[in-house]
Structures are given as structure tokens and as C-alpha cells.
Amino acid sequence: MQSVEEQLKSAVDIQDPLHIWTALVSADDAKAWVEHHLAASRACIAELVAVTGARTPENTLLPYDRAGWHLRMAGSQSGVMFMVHPLADVRDAAQQLSQVIGAESVALSLNRDVYQALGAIDATAADAATQYYIERALLSYRLSGVDKDEPTRNRIRVLADRMTHLSMSFSRTVQDDVRKIPIDNVDDLLGLPQDYLARHGVRAITQSAASPITQLEADAPVVLTTDPPEMTPVMSYAASPQLRRRMYLAYNDRGYPANKQVLLDLLAAREEMATLLGFRSWADLATVDQMMGSAANMRKFLSEVEAAARETAQREFAGLEAFVRERDPGALPLTLSDARYWEEQFRRARYDFDSQSVRPYFPYEQVEAGILATAGKLFGVSFVRSDSAIVWSPAVKAFDVIDSDPSSPYHGAPVGRIYLDMHPREGKSKWFSECSLISGVLGLQLPEASLVCNFPQPTATDPGLMQYSDVVTCFHEFGHLMHEVLGGRQRWAGQSGIATEGDFVEVPSQMLEEFFEDPELVRTFARHYQTGEPIPHDIFARMVQASAHGRALGTLTQVMYATYSLDTHDKPATDLDLDALLRSGYDRFSLYEFVEGNRMYAAFTHLVGYTSNYYTYLYDKVMALEFFAEFKKPDPENLIDSATAMRYRREVLEPGGSKPARELVKAFLGREVSMSALQHWIAREFDSK
């Protein structure tokens, strides 16, 4: 049997049909590569439609699946090039191509011949995964409006094209909008870590072992940016409330004013689309095929989470307020731009934990190696650096993933490839994401996926020290990556990798975060970049204890984001006042005072990707915590070597999207989930006393 790559090469003379970036030096190269896959997708559909006689999974579902494989690969790789490619004209082309691919996908979703062909398949003798695939495909067609009249379907095409254009425009504006904060008084940088100051050419001129830094100087003007490695330390450590507020407002102003109208137009288009398809609102349309089921269920769930967090959040905030009143009464009332700084000061005093103290144990290269080793041991794989793989930037690393589980029939064989693009650069997306590149197909094609992140860049003179929260984020994104790779061995490409319901996709990522609280695991890679000493047990214990402070406040913030996402998609677009809705959301859910000028909605890219369904993070946190509890049962002191890890790989990750997510949950837990683990996690700071 030919591999997918061999099939493609035999069909069209493309240098590398699997990877858009290998010969990508111009916009024309990108267009040629995408058009190749669009043509291949059309050929598969023509083959499907031309079938005569009885329809079977082999003669109908197979070409449909291959058509989708081509479309998804064209879309995902164009999307990644839009996020990461060093050349602006290629990013421009990728943005335009995403709209072309979107139109092609919509045309397929409205193709009645294909819909009727899928519905005519006799799948009575097929396996459960095939039956589930057909069922989901037919549901997707109905939700796309395939059964509507021709004028309605034409309007759906127009709206879908407009929504793609607006979504890409919103994302591109945020991606390109890096705000700069000139520092007029260098002493505003007091409190920031030494390596951060050195990176910006700042040095202390009054410092001794007995006294803190009292004065700073720099030979050249200092300018900060809103890129995450520069923004995050300012919000946590800068002693100057003026600098924190400037950074907060600059970061939350990205995309404004252009994206305000873009977002309103996008919400109006989504509302019209939902109405055309027979739904009360976009939020109902977006949840009908999810685990959640409806906007009403979403509101009920968010109310339950709010109730679980509210009392603890009030206790957390009261303690924080009392602390600030004692230390600096002039800093009251506490505002959103003060939150991270004063929470850091509180943790230092209450738990004897300074988060700067652990940064020397987390230089980027060690963290990367540690997470690769952790994932390898946990999931029964190994990572081999591929020097032959072509990458889109010299900063990108490629690794082949090898199955090292002795019980696996694929032991010793590659199961996929990953690409790590982990540091900021001009024109690159400023967020932290996992991106599929190639869907795996059993016996034909290995899956490939990438991480696109913005962690500190190590250099010959700068180790690229990470916040411990950065390390948690790295674990999170790697959880997605393992789901993509280990779930990529499916018969049907449409069920490969992270192909579950959309409100299950954050479970594996959030579950892996929890392993960061295992001291023996973290000490395998958390070593001081100068001495090589592992992070001391007492510091690690204080870090874990201190990290529990603020969970309830953070949970309410997540409820606010989820409610904002829901409300913007569940109310008439003509009635929306984005600023008033944002202010009312913060007033309801946040105990901190709102900062005038906060327009975070203009850079809230989850409104493009997750639309109304930002609740996914909270919903999946409930499942992730219950999953992680399973690892503790056999031996709480040995989470990574237990048989639970292989059971988790087999029952949750490897099925990809071949089963309903509820079946994955029940297979691993043996029951439905409850809120108890989340409630305990939120209240842990107080429960442990």
C-alpha cells in the first residue's frame, strides 16, 4: 500500500506535498502548495460522487475522509504559516489562503450529493468507530445547513466567507500589534529580576548583601514591549504601580480600536448564521454538538463553578486586602493592574515564597529537556532530535516521536513528529498554542504537530529563565501535543489526533499541568543554571503551597471570561456594548477594581477560536482534576511509573476522536465526573491549614 506521501507525489509534481514550508520563499509558493491540496480534495469528492451501486465505507467514506484530510492539512499549515513565518508577504498570503480554504470547506459542507451519499452508506457491519464517524459527519452537514433551500445556502456561503475574513483580520491585528512602553525613569524597573534588567541594559549601582537595590542606571533608553516574556515579569514584580498600570493598559489595548468594529461585525455575522440554521443564538448552535449541549446548560455550569469559588475567593481577597492595608494603605483599593504584584507580595510574606527564587532553576533549555523526558516516561515514548527535518525558522526544533512502550505492537517504531517553535520574534503570534500539521492515518501517514509559544529566548549570555507559571504553561501545551500524536493512529483521518468534541480538548493539557506539583519529577530537571543543584525540597514545597493562593479569585476570572464569551454570542448583536458588558462582567466576578481603559476584548483571540465556548477551560478542568486523581490512587509518591499512565494513554489519548468523549471519561474513571475535585482544588489553600 502506498503511503499518502507517495500517492501525492505520483499525482502532482510538488517538491514536498506534506510540508508547505520546505520550499516556501514567496506568496506564490504558498498558493501553489495549497492549490495542489484543494485539487486533490476535489478529485476525491468527484470519485465519491461518481460511485454507482451500493454505497459502502470503502467506496464512499474513504474518499470523503481523504478529501477532508487534504483540506485540513491545507488549512492547518496555512494557519501555522500565518502565525509563524518570518516573511510578511508569506503571512499575508497565508491569511488570504485561509479564506480560500474556508470557502472550499463551506462548499463541501453544503454539497448535497456528498451528504446524501454519506447517508446512503450501509454501515450495519462496520465497526463502532466507523459508525460514529458517519453519525458525526451527517450531524455536521445538518448543522452546516445542507438541507436548506438554495437562497439560504447561498447566504450561508457569503456569511461563512465573511466570518473567515473577519476572524483572520482580528487575529492578524493582534499578532502585529506589539505595544511599546518607553521607560522615562529607570528606577520604575525596581523589583524586576536581575536577568530581566541585564537583558535591557540596566544595572544596579547601589546594592549589597545587606541592603536591597535602591538605584538603577542604564546607558541607553529602555523600551519594554507587550510580548509575554517582557509583560509578565512587570506585572508580577515591578514595584512601580504606574509602570504596572501602563503595561496592563498597553497589553489590554492591543488590537484597539480596529478590532472593536471587526468583533461586532463578526458577532453579527454569527448571529445571522445561527438564525438561518434555525437556532436561537450562536451559543446554542456552537454547543449543540458538544458535550455541553446548549447555552442554557452552559449558564447552569458556570453558575455552579461561581458558587464553588465565591466564598473562598472572598476569603482570599479579604486576606490580601488586610495585608496591603498593613503594608501600603495608599495602594488601596486594589485594581486589576495591581493583582499579580500584590498576590506575589502576599505569597512572599505568608508562605515565605518568592517566585523569583525559583527562576534560576528553570532555564529554558533544561525545562524543555525535562518536559520531553517527563512526557517520554509518562506516555511510553522517546524523542529523537531530527537534524534532517526542514523547519520554517532556525529557532524551530524537530523531534521524531518513537514508541518505547514494550507492550505496544509499535514498540521501537516512530509514531509521529513534533516541532517546537518556542520563542518570540517579529511578526510571530504572541500566544501559546498547539497546532496540528498533518493528521495521522493508520498504516499510511504519521501525525505531525507543533507548539507555537513565546517563552524567554536563551542566548550565550542569558539562560532564558522562566517563571514557574511559564513551566506550567509548557506542561499544558505539551499535553495537547501528546494527545495529537498518540491519538493519531486512526483508520479515519477525520478521527485522528485531537478530534474529540471541542469541549474535551483541554482535558489532556490541564491534566498534565498537575504533574508539576510532583517534587521528584520536577527535581529531575529543575536545577540551578549556575550550580547544577536541584531545586531544594523546602523551596518546592513552599512554591506548591503558595500557588494554591488565588485559585478561587482566578477561577472567578475564568468564569468572567467564559460569561463574556457566552453573552457576546447569546444576545442580539445590535444590543451589544462591548465596553459596558466587559465592565459589568468584571464588576460581577472580579473583586479587584476595574481599570478604566481596559479593552481586552480587542485582543481576546479566544473569541475567534472558541467563539462562545470559552467555558471549555473550566469544564475540562473538572475532568482533568478527576483524571489526575486516578494517578494518585496506586501510589501517591510515584505518579509517573504507575500502570495508570499506560491506561490513560490507551483509554483517553490513543482513541483520538473515534469515540464520544463521555465514553473516554467513563472508560478511564469508571463513572461520570463530579464537582468535588474542583471544589477541593479551589479551596486547597484553606483546607490544608
**Mean pLDDT taken over the chain:** 94
Give the whole-angstrom CA distance, residue 667 versus residue 378.
19
CA geometry: angle 625, 683, 623, nearest 5 deg: 15
Q: In CATH terms, is domain 284-359+549-687 a member of 1.20.1440.80?
A: no
For the domain with range 363-518, which CATH number is right: 3.40.309.10, 3.40.390.10, 3.40.50.1220, 3.20.20.10? 3.40.390.10
Per-residue pLDDT of 649-666, as tens digits, reads 999 999 999 999 999 999
Amino acid identity for residue 424 in this structure? P
Give the whole-angstrom CA distance, residue 8 versus residue 3.
9
pLDDT of the residue at 570: 97
Pick from 532, 521, 466, 31: which is nearest to 228 by CA?
Answer: 466
Confidence at 206, pLDDT banded by 50, 70, 90 = low
All three cell numbers of 582, joined, read 466587559
Q: Are 295 and 570 in contact (CB under 8 A)?
A: yes
pLDDT of the residue at 688: 54
Question: Cis before residue 257, ω within 30 degrees of 0?
Answer: yes
Q: Are 99 and 135 in contact (CB under 8 A)?
A: no
Confidence at 5, pLDDT banded by 50, 70, 90 = very low
Confidence at 59, pLDDT banded by 50, 70, 90 = very high
Cα torsion angle, 313, 317, 320, 326, sign: negative
Per-residue pLDDT of 339-369, as tens digits, reads 999 999 999 999 999 999 999 999 999 999 9
Report helix, strand or coil for 124: coil
Per-residue pLDDT of 453-512, as tens digits, reads 999 999 999 999 999 999 999 999 999 999 999 999 999 999 999 999 999 999 999 999
Q: Is the pLDDT of residue 140 over 70?
A: yes
Q: Are 334 and 320 in contact (CB under 8 A)?
A: yes
pLDDT of the residue at 3: 46
Give the whole-angstrom CA distance, residue 202 versus residue 195.
10
Q: Are 130 and 123 in contact (CB under 8 A)?
A: yes
Question: Cis before residue 333, ω within 30 degrees of 0?
Answer: yes
Give the whole-angstrom CA distance, residue 438 versus residue 452.
15
pLDDT of the residue at 641: 73
The mean per-residue pLDDT over the stretch 431-444 comes to: 96
Which of 582 and 11 is assigned the larger pLDDT?
A: 582
Q: Are 362 and 468 in contact (CB under 8 A)?
A: yes
Give the whole-angstrom CA distance, residue 481 versus residue 299.
30
Pick from 289, 270, 295: which is nearest to 138 by CA?
Answer: 289
pLDDT of the residue at 214: 72
Q: What is the pTM of this model?
A: 0.94
Pick from 38, 26, 27, 32: which is nearest to 13 by CA?
Answer: 32
Confidence at 684, pLDDT banded by 50, 70, 90 = confident
pLDDT of the residue at 383: 98
pLDDT of the residue at 517: 86
Residue keyed to cell 514567496: 26
Give the whole-angstrom CA distance, residue 88 versus residue 427.
7
**HSE-CB for 245 with a 13 A CA cutoff:** 11
Per-residue pLDDT of 404-430, as tens digits, reads 999 888 999 999 999 999 999 999 998
The mean per-residue pLDDT over the stretch 626-641 comes to: 85
Amino acid identity for residue 151 in this structure? P
Per-residue pLDDT of 224-243, as tens digits, reads 999 999 999 999 999 999 99
Q: Is the pLDDT of residue 210 over 60?
A: no
Confidence at 567, pLDDT banded by 50, 70, 90 = very high
pLDDT of the residue at 612: 98
**What is the SS3 string spanning 83-113?**
HHCCCHHHHHHHHHHHHHHHHHHHHHHCCHH
Q: Residue 443: how many CB atoms within 10 A of its CB?
A: 9
What share of the chain in percent tops pLDDT 90? Answer: 90
Domain boundaries, the chain: 180-252, 284-359+549-687, 363-518
Give the whole-angstrom CA distance, residue 57 versus residue 607.
37
Confidence at 213, pLDDT banded by 50, 70, 90 = low
